């Protein structure tokens, strides 16, 4: 069966240099789906994403996968679960988290998704708010789901020995320091690069802006180094200002501690997803 027989394209919901994503309707179920149209056919990134989505058993914190099609022009169309908003839009909108409890729910679900990937031998390598989907209902917040596995990589190096991989992955504002200082070809790193990104995301939930907004890799590293000089005090100040100016909830001392552990400069000292889920911040009233 070809794609046109199963789905009706409705509108474009996002576009980029390598493709665009449609909202479509499944004729069999009447439900909306997202169809990612890859312009360049079976690229290494596309093949990797399809293989990962096919191999992973379903998980509440991972976007659902429905299959893929190849059209007559050799374009690849990947069919996935449709969710209207990503975390980036959610943070900037009026419906963003008003309480610590809401923030804890989304952080726990993100960490559960990251733990699931790491336990299955996968590094995402491009975690950021726009790659986390937020499904909502008339009753409010529902579920966070990690998406976009084009830069993901299988690894047997869950431990701190690491493996040799390209540092040319990720998005600048969310890249771990070891990716910023890596060689042009390959560098040793492991799943800790994802935990740094999670720390940046958690901070952004509360300050409603990217924590490190470098103009280049060198500038990004300078901004990281500057924060590291007094990270606890700097984070607490940023959260306090966001509370006063933007009405964001303050994560409290334990929340600051968790972000600090996620943003440990040296990857060997960075908290794992499992340890983060066990952090006392999640049990604090």
Chain centroid, CA 112 distance in Å: 12
Q: Are 190 and 159 in contact (CB under 8 A)?
A: yes
* pLDDT one-digit tens code per residue, 248-273: 899 999 999 999 999 999 998 999 99
Cβ-count burial of 30 within 10 angstroms (0-12 exposed, 13-18 middle, 19+ buried)? exposed
Confidence of residue 171 (pLDDT cuts 50, 70, 90): confident
Active-site annotation, residues:
126
Q: Are strands 122-123 and 153-154 parallel, antiparallel or unpaired?
A: antiparallel
Give the whole-angstrom CA distance, residue 97 versus residue 99.
6
Confidence of residue 183 (pLDDT cuts 50, 70, 90): very low
Sorted by sequence, the CB contacts under 8 Å of residue 195 that are 6+ apart come out as: 114, 262, 270, 271, 272, 273, 276
Residue 222 has φ and ψ, to the nearest 5°, of -65, -45
* pLDDT one-digit tens code per residue, 113-152: 999 999 999 999 999 999 999 887 544 557 899 998 888 8
* pLDDT one-digit tens code per residue, 34-45: 999 887 777 777
* pLDDT one-digit tens code per residue, 205-260: 999 999 999 999 899 999 999 999 999 999 999 999 999 998 889 999 999 999 99
Chain centroid, CA 234 distance in Å: 24
State if pTM tops 0.75. yes
Residue 174 per-residue DSSP state:
G
Check residue 241 and give its pLDDT. 94
Q: Are 50 and 30 in contact (CB under 8 A)?
A: no
Give the whole-angstrom CA distance, residue 76 versus residue 60.
26
Show the domains of the chain with their CATH numbers: 3-81 (3.30.200.20), 85-283 (1.10.510.10)
CA distances for 62 relative to 22, 55, 113, 117, 144, angstroms: 19, 12, 6, 9, 8
């Amino acid at each position: 069966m070809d794609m046109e027989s199963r789905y009706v394209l409705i509108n474009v919901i996002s576009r980029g240099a390598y493709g665009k994503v449609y909202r479509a309707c499944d004729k069999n179920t009447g439900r909306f789906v997202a169809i990612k149209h890859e312009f360049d056919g079976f690229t290494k990134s596309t093949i990797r994403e399809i293989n990962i989505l096919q191999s992973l058993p379903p998980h509440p914190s991972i976007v659902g996968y429905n299959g893929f099609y190849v059209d007559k022009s050799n374009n690849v169309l990947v069919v996935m679960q449709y969710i209207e908003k990503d975390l980036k839009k959610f943070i900037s909108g009026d419906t963003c988290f008003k309480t610590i409890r809401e923030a804890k729910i989304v952080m726990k679900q993100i960490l559960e998704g990251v733990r699931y990937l790491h336990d299955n031998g996968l590094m995402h390598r491009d975690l950021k708010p726009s790659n986390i989907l937020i499904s909502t209902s008339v009753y409010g917040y529902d579920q966070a789901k990690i998406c976009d596995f084009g830069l993901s990589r299988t690894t047997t190096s869950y431990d701190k020995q690491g493996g040799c991989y390209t540092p040319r992955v990720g998005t600048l504002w969310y890249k771990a320091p070891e990716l910023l200082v890596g060689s042009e070809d390959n560098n040793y790193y492991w799943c800790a690069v994802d935990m740094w990104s999670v720390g940046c995301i958690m901070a952004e939930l509360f300050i409603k802006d990217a924590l490190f907004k470098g103009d280049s890799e060198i500038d990004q590293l300078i901004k990281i180094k500057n924060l590291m000089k007094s990270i606890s005090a700097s984070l607490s100040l940023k959260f306090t200002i966001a509370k006063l100016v933007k009405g964001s909830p303050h994560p409290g001392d334990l929340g600051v501690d968790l972000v600090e552990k996620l943003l440990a400069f040296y990857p060997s000292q960075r908290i794992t997803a499992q340890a983060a889920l066990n952090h006392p911040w999640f049990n604090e009233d």
